[in-house]
Structure 1
Amino acid sequence: MDRIRIDKWLWAARFYKTRTLSADEVERGRVQVNGHDVKPAREVKAGDTVSLRQGPVLRTVLVRGVSGQRGPAPVAQALYEETPESLQARAQQAEQRRLAPEPALAQEHGRPTKRERRELDAATGGWGERWSASVDG
């Protein structure tokens, strides 16, 4: 077997958990082969360059082998070799995420509890004499 569908190869190389998921990512344009957008049925062979986006991470790998079976991780890792530029870019992105985490993740709590809401209302003066949120006289 010297050629295989890109969606099946991505699944066998363990980039995506299911073959359906890999086919969806290819259709969404998050996977390129040799710099071109492809369809899930596009065949890859050893020597092709595959660029794929996994969340915020862009990876570029060189196809070293093809397999139609999903095997253990060491076997899957032998199917590709990540380019040095891709490894360096991933390391830089990881360092950036470490130094400047997502602001939304810094929130410890979600909505205020009933008690906290009452404390907030008491601290800001509450509704006062108004019985409605409308701004009518």
Structure 2
Amino acid sequence: MGAGSGSDDPAAVAGAARPASGESVRVDSWIWSVRLVKTRSMGATACRGGHVRVNGERVKPAYAVRVGDEVRLRHAGRERIVIVKRVIRKRVGPPVAAECFVDNSPPPPPREAVAPAGVRDRGAGRPTKRDRREMERLRGLGAPEAGTDGP
């Protein structure tokens, strides 16, 4: 194989992944192809569990998607809402996959900024009682303050 024998053009890759005219693509296969789920079987499981809706209807894994359909997928604790722009059968790279749908999903919730509580220098030895109390206070596990007991 010589250099340049493969096609690096994203449009050509997407064209090769497109089904023949008149064919349809299963919804589980499409959400896998455009990288909304990691595996096709995860897509099928999501469909069977009622986590995939097309145009507001719960669908089975074999449901045929078409251009213009709205696909809602609840996955990994968040809802993805996408409009199908291009129907493809084979999994493609992220830049090409992004061209196959319009993402109308709400932004992901911000990650909580967690202070690295209890991180100690390597080789610092076992924490003292004072150090442990400080780490527990930072984690929010501290016992109630002294003197708050009832009579």
CA RMSD of aligned residues (A): 2.7
For residues 83-135 of structure 1, the C-alpha deviation after alignment (integer angstroms, 9 at most, x for no partner) is: 2xx2xx324xx23x436x7xxxx886xxxxxxx9xxxxxxxxxxxxxxxxxxx
Query: Residues 42-61 of structure 1 correspond to what in structure 2 (within 5 A)?
Result: 42-61=63-82
The counterpart of 1:31, out of the listed 48, 52, 60, is 52
**Distance (Å, rounded) in 2 between the aligned partners of 1:69 and 1:43:** 15
Which residue identity does 2:112 align to in structure 1? Answer: R
TM-score, with length taken from structure 1 = 0.64
Task: Spell out the pairing of 1:1-137 with structure 2 (5 A cutoff).
Answer: 1=19, 3-83=24-104, 86=105, 89-91=106-108, 94-95=109-110, 97-98=111-112
> Secondary structure at 1:17's aligned position in 2?
coil
**Distance across 1 between alignment mates of 2:50 and 2:95:** 28
Output the amino acid matched with 2:96: V
**1:53 match: secondary structure:** strand
- TM-score of the superposition, structure 2-length normalised? 0.58
Q: How big is each residue's C-alpha offset from its partner over 1:25-79, in whole Å with a ceiling of 9 and x where there is no partner?
A: 1111111000000000000010000001122211110000011111111111111
**Alignment partner of 1:32: what SS?**
strand
> What percent of counterpart residues are identical?
35
Contact 1:59-1:90 within 8 A present in 2 as well = no
SS at match of 2:82: strand
Aligned length: 103
Alpha-carbon distance in structure 2 between the residues aligned to 1:27 and 1:107: 41
Alignment partners' CA distance in 2, 1:98 and 1:53: 21
CA distance in 2, matches of 1:7, 1:107: 42
Amino acid of the residue matched to residue 46 of structure 1? V
Q: Quick check: 1:61–1:80 contact (8 Å CA) kept in 2?
A: yes
Question: Partner letter of residue 25 of structure 1?
Answer: A
CA distance in 1, matches of 2:42, 2:26: 14
Would the aligned equivalents of 1:12 and 1:76 in 2 still touch at CA under 8 Å? yes
Q: Which runs of 5+ in 1 are unaligned?
A: 109-115, 117-137
